[in-house]
Amino acid sequence: MSEKTRSKKGGDKALTANRLTDGVAIFLATDGSWVEDAREARVEGDDAGHAALEAAGAEAEAAGIAVGPYLIDVARDADGAVHPTRNREVIRARGPSTHPHHGKQAEGLSGQEAA
Amino acid sequence: MYRYDEFDATFVHERVEQFRDQVARRLSGELTEEEFKPLRLMNGLYLQLHAYMLRVAIPYGTLSGTQMRRLAHIARTYDKGFGHFTTRQNIQYNWPTLEDAPRILEELAEVEMHAIQTSGNCIRNTTADPYAGAIKDEVEDPRIASEVIRQWSSLHPEFSFLPRKFKIAVTGTTHDRAAVKVHDIGLVIKRNAAGEVGFEVLVGGGQGRTPMIAKTIRDFLPKQYLLSYLEAILRVYNMLGRRDNKYKARIKILVHETGIEELSRLVEAEWESLSRETTVDLPRAEYERIAAYFEPPDLAPAEASSAAFEAAQQEDRDFRHWVRTNVKEHKVDGYAVVDISLKPIGGVPGDATADQMDLVADLAERYSQDELRVTHGQNLVLAHVAKDDLHALFKELAGAGLATANSRLVSDIIACPGLDYCALANARSIPIAQDISRRFDSLDRQFDIGPLEIKISGCINACGHHHVGHIGILGVDRKGTEYYQLTLGGRADENAAIGKILGPAFDADGVVDAVETIVDTYLEERRGPDETFLDAVERLGFQPFKDRLYPQKQAAA
């Protein structure tokens, strides 16, 4: 894990990675699948849950689905939808802020705007 | 332009097939990411925030119309219809898939291009003056030496795993448009007292977290010894460069820690020892064979100015402004060098759509000897345009949003991709460039300000060259918020200097106001329109700018 992808200790977290075939940012969902929409991410709030997420990430990496999985800090909005809290991960979840017609934001798969 | 020989063509096609096999093995699970990553990086394929990114080499920034058209085709077919020209005269695609990468490389190989050595700790694409072969005071076209270096450094077995990446730049004129003093090795082509052509060799320049200006290691190297001398420098670096800390692994740190005199002694000793073993220096005939590809085009001299050209300037105000900023004198009377700005007001610096690339390819074929250049300032150049064709060219460029009159003015901003794309970035760069460009959209105001280079990086790796911006902007992350630190007084020309930090950083909104405050302070304090921004900063020092930027601090003092 690099400095850029390190999340804070404890708190609500989701698991993200890049998809092997096209590099798109993906998130581990509650049903165990990998989805492009961060709002559908599985969230865990304790050490055991975080460990379970990381184990699922290692499995997906070994299976050739995901590249470089890591935990990200997340929060839930008023509707209960999950969104990343760090600016870097907000941009990953949406797409480049300079090209609103590119990336997930263009397909309606987006969280809140970058800070 | 240089054309591949049989060896080059075979080698590049074989490399594509190797990579196709490697990708297939990665997708089948035979290769892990740890095994595959160095292989994809050797072929220019990075993994960024949203997707893979493919960086394609454009040797010394020179392209034919056919090659540019192929880049457009790749943007349209495998990306989202655009490409991003970089500060290393290359192009990056932000959205290719892993599955498509071998096919893209195959399409590049068909037009004598590739992505080899656009990543990794090896000798990267050698960059050169984008006006090469077209400008008056040039001693020799720097692309000849650059091509010689390209051939020598491609898959050089001894230098494929250096302590860190290694960048070389070449200029053939005393006025440096290639930023040679902020490269690992900078070469300035010059004549000695006897009139012989050779190189001043500079070493140890660079940006990143420890910016340094290169020092002269040899004032005059006879041309025929170029490769053996480079080999000696690289050998000493390869042996003594630090591998224990990636932040101290560039040759600039070795120069700093060893001292230029001692390093020079070591290089000279290595050079002498090499010459006793064998030589990598090219026989004169081979140098001349390569040089023949860069023979100046056969341009029939014409009147230095023409009635049609003058009349068009009188009649068309936008054309007149564009000529003033984006058209430069050519060494042949009746011709001009044209800067094509990729910095429209509010646009993304360095981005071009596939349609724009296609058009520029056509224009290069029709108006500029089927050749165009990419600049380290993230613009394009048509180097050999007849003055009589300039108005027609301008109108075609204007129709495609490519005739912004701002070359080297305040809206001609260099910006790295920043946090919108880059996995290393701490803050966004592009939106700051867009906001500054919008703030200074009045051309009259830009003309009044005069030459002013703003350069923006989204992290300390300095891909946006902020250290050598007249005004430099560095994005940092502070507890999840983007802040921007300002530097002043940097420059990348023959008088290269590293900018110095002005004071506390500003947030994203504040930094645009801060830049405007700096510019307004200059306009108020300058002796007159002839005193450039840099001259004024040198005369005034930082205090007048600090007083205006940080008034509370001054009041408290």
Strands (E), B489-542: 500-501, 506-507
Cβ neighbors of B374 (< 8 A, separation 6 or more) are: B58, B61, B63, B85, B89, B90, B91, B130, B380, B381
Q: Which of B420, B428, B476, B481 to mutate to test the interface with A (most CBs of A within 10 A)?
A: B420
The first and second tokens of residue B443, run together, are 């051309």
> Which pLDDT score is estimated for B552?
80
Chain B positions touching A115 (Cβ under 8 A) are 480-482
- Residues B178, B11, B376: CA angle, nearest 5 degrees: 15
Rounded to whole angstroms, how far apart are CA atoms B141 and B172?
6
pLDDT at position A101, please? 83
CB contact at 8 A, B471 and B516 = no
The SS3 of residue B47 is strand
Q: What is the distance in angstroms between the Cα of A97 and the nearest Cα belonging to chain B?
A: 6
What average pLDDT does range B147-153 have in this prediction?
A: 96
Q: How confident is the model at residue B555, as a pLDDT?
A: 61
Residue to substitute from B50, B209, B353, interface A, most A β-carbons within 10 A: B50
Computed over every residue of chain A, the mean pLDDT equals 90
* Cα B179 off chain centre by: 8
Test mutation, B49, B343, B422, chain A, max A CBs within 10 A: B49
pLDDT at B279 over 90: no
Averaged pLDDT for residues A20-44: 97
Q: Do A115 and B51 touch (CB under 8 A)?
A: no
Residues on chain B touching A25 (C-beta within 8 angstroms):
49-50
SS (HEC) of B152-175: HHCCCHHHCCCCCCECEEEECCCC
Q: What letter represents residue A18's amino acid?
A: N
Distance from CA of B250 to the nearest CA of A (A): 21
Q: CB–CB of A20 and B98 under 8 A?
A: yes
**Contact assignment for A22 to B50 by CB distance below 8 Å:** no
Rounded mean pLDDT of chain B?
A: 96
Q: How far apart are CA B206 and CA B477, in angstroms?
A: 23
Question: What does the block give as tokens for B257?
Answer: 């820690």
- Binned at pLDDT 50, 70 and 90, residue A40 comes out as very high
What share of chain B has pLDDT > 70, as a percent?
99
CB contact under 8 A, A67 and B49: no
A3 → chain B, closest CA residue: B424
| pLDDT of B398 | 98
**Chain A, nearest residue to B479 by Cα:** A86
pLDDT, tens only, B209-259: 999 999 999 999 999 999 999 999 999 999 999 999 999 999 999 999 999
Q: Is B551 helix (H, G, I), strand (E, B) or coil?
A: helix
Q: What's the confidence (pLDDT) of residue B276? A: 81
How high is the pLDDT of residue B122? 95
Q: Which of B28, B50, B419 lies at the smallest CB-CB distance from A24?
A: B50
What residue ranges define each of the domains in chain B, with the CATH number in brackets?
Answer: 6-110 (3.90.480.20), 134-292 (3.30.413.10), 307-399 (3.90.480.20), 414-556 (3.30.413.10)
By CB neighbour count within 10 A (0-12 exposed, 13-18 middle, 19+ buried), where does A52 fall? middle
* C-alpha torsion sign, points B196, B197, B203, B209: positive
Do B224 and B287 touch, CB atoms closer than 8 A? yes
Q: Evaluate if residue A46 carries a pLDDT over 80.
A: yes
Q: What is the DSSP letter of A29?
A: B
Which chain A residues touch B420 with a CB distance below 8 Å? 91, 96-99
- Is some CB atom of chain B closer than 8 A to the CB atom of A38? no
Segments making up each domain of chain A, as ranges: 9-100
Check CB contact under 8 Å for A25 and B29.
Answer: no
Q: Would the pLDDT of A115 be above 50?
A: no
Q: How confident is the model at residue A114 (pLDDT cuts 50, 70, 90)?
A: very low
Task: Give the residue on A whose Cα is nearest the Cα of B50.
Answer: A24
What are the DSSP calls for B373-407, one per residue? EE-TTS-EEEEEEEGGGHHHHHHHHHHTT-----T
Question: pLDDT over 90 for what percent of chain B?
Answer: 94
- N- to C-terminal Cα separation, chain A: 24
A30 touches chain B (CB under 8 A): no
User: Is B400 an interface residue toward A (CB < 8 Å)?
Assistant: no
- Chain B contact present for A94, CB below 8 A: no
CA separation, residue B16 to residues A20, B105, B123, B124, B236 (Å) = 20, 6, 20, 19, 32
Give the CA distances from residue A62 to residues A20, A56, A67, B30, B120, in Å, rounded to whole numbers and listed in that order. Answer: 11, 10, 9, 10, 25
- Pairwise CA distance, residues B4 & B293, whole Å: 11
Q: What is the pLDDT of residue B1?
A: 87
Distance in angstroms (rounded) separating the CA atoms of residues B93 and B113 = 15
Contact of B174 with chain A, judged by CB distance below 8 Å, is answered with no
